Amino acid sequence: MVKKGIIMGQKISRKEIEVDKMKVKVIVKLRKPKCVKDIRSFLRHARFYHRFIKKFNRIARPFMNILAKDMPLNFDDKCLEAWEKLKKELISALIISVPDWTKPFEIMCDASNFLIGSILR
């Protein structure tokens, strides 16, 4: 087995799985979105890590009104608060412990033309 590596934006080692530090540096430098395209781009990135963020959908809810069709960009205080909260959650220590290698386990993978998923049981 590989001792350490980066797979799909996650740094994986024998002891833990965490977000790649280079991605964290990019998130820290992000500025407030100027258009709907910026919000969508940020949310696509954030959704990749949604499993690490408790109550992700509740935090991102203020953006849904902006993303509705034909709605003006009204980046109010609630959106700014959600923006800062998601950024904070994305740059915090996001770690998952690895399985107990002394016990049996199964890795199930599924792939399509645009998505790869896996489950560790």
**pLDDT tens per residue, range 56-106:** 889 988 888 788 777 777 788 898 899 999 888 887 755 555 667 788 877
Going by C-alpha positions, the residue among 85, 84, 98, 17 that lies closest to residue 9 is: 17
Structure confidence at residue 48 (pLDDT):
76
The domains of the chain are located at 4-120
Question: What H or E segment, with its residue span, contains residue 72?
Answer: none
Sequence letter at residue 59: I
Using the structure block, give the residue that is written with the tokens 């940020």.
42
Measured distance CA(30)–CA(82) in Å, rounded: 14
What residue type is assigned to position 108 of the chain?
M
pLDDT value at residue 19: 66
The pLDDT of residue 115 is 61
Residue 81, pLDDT score: 92
pLDDT per residue as tens digits for the range 15-59: 666 666 777 777 888 888 888 888 888 888 888 777 778 888 899
